[in-house]
Chains A and B, each alone.
Chain A
Amino acid sequence: MTEAKQETIINAINAHFNHAVIKHEMLYDMFTVTLRKDAVIPAIQWLYDNEELKFRFLTTMCALHYPDQKDELGMMYQLHSLENNLRIRIKTFFPKDLAVMPTLTGLYSAANWMERQEYDFFGVDFKGHPNLKRILNVDDMVIHPMRKEFPLEDQTRKDKNDTMFGR
């Protein structure tokens, strides 16, 4: 994405959504914008509606967990404008006890299962989602396993009896 275009997007988002851009940078070949949480969905809507940019394809989304940050959890959305061949990554962070995001299902049908997946693994609650339940894990699981507080089992553990199956 050219510098001019980046500038346009940043200025437009700042103008429309009350200075919502916290940070913007080029990460390798991807233009990455960190936004305030309340502005994320309106900004994506704006990028979708914009006649010039036309970010109408949701490539992927995923949740992030940085346990050392104040705003621990985050969401990453990656949009693609197929007509202009532009990609943009939008990130936002929020504290763990406020892990609520508005849904994107109204805009992209593809967001349905993607959001269910992130709810399943990170416990991000998507408000307005039509069918927010676990998708890949079993229904009666009580944790959100991709969070960093659930490390994979330590392979040097000694407190398990392995006579039958080994390790």
Chain B
Amino acid sequence: MTQISTNIVDHLAEQKEYTTLNLGPTHPATHGIFQNILKMDGEIIVDAESTVGYIHRAFEKLAERRPYYQITPITDRLNYCSSPINNMGWHMTVEKLIGAKIPKKVDYMRVIVMELARIADHIVCNAVIGVDTGALTGFVYLFQQREFIYEIYEEICGARLTTNIGRIGGFDKDFSPKTWDKIKKFLKEFPLALDEFQSLLERNRIFMDRVIGCGPISAERALNYGFTGPNLRAAGVDYDVRVMTPYSSYEDFDFIIPVGTHGDTYDRFMVRHEEMRQSLRIIQQAMDKMPEGPCHADVPDFYLPEKQDVYNKMEALIYHFKIVMGETDVPVGEVYHAVEGGNGELGYYLISDGGRTPFRLHFRRPCFIYYQAYPEMIKGSMLSDAILTMSSMNVIAGELDA
């Protein structure tokens, strides 16, 4: 949709009769619990105010009385479209704190899981942009593929949405042959579905007219607003945590960071689209280069021993008991670890005073930080563009409200 410039709004200023429209908290078009009170001049948004916190669950407070391994399920519920990335981010934070040395194989397995999660996250966002412009077909094609990703999760950890994948120190078990088969099948079939999706929307005149110039933000404003992830890259800044401060052996892989130019909905759509292809490349490389070795680090204080050993060996039983009761000694320290989540830099700031629980845990939630730019981005545009801008920003209520 062409942007209605603010000059036109000013030109109509003598009208002076504004309507207040309450969009949300539970509106089917907002895909989550978001309330925006809009001041409207006919169809044009003059001013907007966001209310957040409808599904606040006090994660930072909850974390202060949970042992480290029990915090993983909390992180699931931040960005629930890509839970594995959150899980891995948390594991890596604790590993950084305790100074665990992680085998290459674990890194590569993590990369595979994280990139699958990124694809699943971007599928939700891009398919929903299609739906909001009235193109339901592409949504169906891609959501079928998302289901296959969830089946891979299921094969790895047994869960689908709130995954709790992996352990502090690595994985509970190696990927089964069936998991590998499913990943291979996905790698073969997904590009075809993605091509189909691309051909439906990328050069579609109706879609392009609808999304080009919709909800733009300049690179400068985006940085000032603390944007990260695909939304920042769409505005033209090539900041990606995976490249800037590589974690989990991301430096071993060859991939491209796509950037946009205008920071509008079309750019965000295209950046996410290309990132899915790059994620596929990373997964392929990780599979080709997969090293041999154990699927967990040697951290008996945190990593549960084999069940067989728990029954037969005294040390294993002691460790098992200590871990489950959360009585492990943790070094005193303060650590920040960031991963590139589906929406941007997902950071964990952890202060440990040596006790069984974190003294303070703060999540840097990308959604929370960039969603505050929303009123500025939709001012002067039409109501239907506001809906589209929100879905293209991929604001996830769980991450927004913690």
Q: Which residues of A contact B (CB under 8 A)?
A: 27-28, 30, 32, 56-60, 62, 64-65, 76, 78, 82, 85, 87, 89, 108-110, 112-114, 117, 121, 134-138, 145-146, 151-152
**Could you say which of A27, A89, A134, A138 contacts B333, with CB atoms under 8 Å apart?**
A27
Task: List A contacts of B64 (CB < 8 A).
Answer: 152
Known A85-B244, A152-B62: A57·B223 in contact at CB below 8 Å: yes
Q: How far is the CB of A32 from chain B (nearest CB, A)?
A: 7
Instruction: Check if B2 is an interface residue, CB within 8 A of chain A.
Output: no
* B225 adjacent to A76 (CB under 8 Å): no
Tell which of B155-163, B302-310, B344-352 binds the partner. Answer: B344-352
Instruction: Check if B226 is an interface residue, CB within 8 A of chain A.
Output: yes
CA distance A28 to B336 in the complex (A): 8
Q: How far is the CB of A26 from chain B (nearest CB, A)?
A: 11
* A109 adjacent to B224 (CB under 8 Å): yes
Task: List B contacts of A62 (CB < 8 A).
Answer: 349, 360, 362
Interface of A (DSSP majority class): mixed
* A145 adjacent to B53 (CB under 8 Å): no
Could you tell me how many residues of chain B have their Cβ less than 8 Å away from some Cβ of chain A?
A: 39
**Could you say which of B52, B60, B61 contacts A135, with CB atoms under 8 Å apart?**
B52
Task: List A contacts of B244 (CB < 8 A).
Answer: 82, 85
Tell which of B206-214, B311-319, B364-372 binds the partner. Answer: B364-372
Instruction: Check if B335 is an interface residue, CB within 8 A of chain A.
Output: yes
* B345 adjacent to A59 (CB under 8 Å): yes
Task: List B contacts of A121 (CB < 8 A).
Answer: 60
Task: List A contacts of B364 (CB < 8 A).
Answer: 59-60
Task: List B contacts of A135 (CB < 8 A).
Answer: 52-53
Q: How far is the CB of B349 from chain A (nearest CB, A)?
A: 6
> Interface digits, B47-73 against A, CB 8 Å rule (1 contact, 0 not)?
000001100101011101100000000
> Interface digits, B365-393 against A, CB 8 Å rule (1 contact, 0 not)?
00011011100000000000000000000
Q: How far is the CB of A103 from chain B (nearest CB, A)?
A: 14
Give 9 CB contacts A-B under 8 Å. A27-B335, A30-B336, A59-B226, A78-B336, A108-B226, A109-B226, A110-B369, A138-B53, A152-B65
CA distance A113 to B366 in the complex (A): 12
